[in-house]
Amino acid sequence: MSSEQDHTIELHEGVWLDLNQPIFFQSTDGKPGQARTLVKLRAQEEQLEVQFSCLDDPHWSSNTYTEHNTDLWRQEVFEIFIAAGNQVPHRYLELEINPNNAFFAAWVENRSGQGPEKLTMLTHEQHGIRHSVETAADHWKGSIHIPLALLGTDNSAGYRLNFYRIVLRDKPADQNWECAPENCDFLCWQSTLSGDQPAFHRPKHFGSLRIATGQE
């Protein structure tokens, strides 16, 4: 399996779509990751619902962040970056969730395409996103309900987006551990091909999403 494929998602309103790509790819070089990640989507009642399963993760209980809008990316997370429109976005919504159901939401300004230049945090009251998490012995899963109005009033051109996952390879010896290339894999639905160091904020590599209504 290669990361060089068509990353265009066509959704029909009210119908679940399984991405049918259990293998995400290393952000650095696009090689397949080992841990499986399942994602399915549905657009319904002016919301985009994302259900995900982070499989092959016996170490999820090592995650210590429990408060919303904290530095969740320093440990294991599932992430969504999304923006309205069909062009490479300079501003997009960054959403993160961890196995403790801690949630991060912020607008990212990234005009250089190389990383965040400004973050505007959103509280739960501001974004209106519903989220939940369930855990098991060797995996964790959850759902995220994104109000489409949060992304703009004119979404006729579709969306650009990517999905990400940070996953531990081994149980950390220190409870204050942080993710790094030495202990974690940084995986992408569509690899950002960032080179020597993993990096998710490369919007030119976002895939595309189109939602077809009943009238189309």
Strands 17-18 and 32-44: antiparallel
Q: Which pLDDT does position 6 carry in this prediction?
A: 56
Q: What is the pLDDT of residues 66-110, one digit of tens each?
A: 999 999 999 999 999 999 999 999 999 999 999 999 999 999 999
Across 15-26, average pLDDT: 96
Map out the domains of the chain as residue ranges: 8-212
Specify the CATH architecture of the domain 8-212: Sandwich (2.60)
C-alpha to C-alpha distance for 101 and 146, rounded to whole angstroms: 15
CB neighbours of 45 closer than 8 A, spacing ≥ 6? none
At residue 92, what are phi and psi to the nearest 5 degrees? -150, 160
Least confident of 4-18, 128-142, 155-169: 4-18
Percent of the chain surpassing pLDDT 90: 92
How far CA 174 is from CA of 62, 63, 178, 181, in Å, comes to 9, 11, 9, 16
The reported pLDDT for the residue numbered 112 is 97
Alpha-carbon distances of 151 from 10, 45, 55, 201, 206, rounded to whole Å: 18, 15, 29, 18, 16
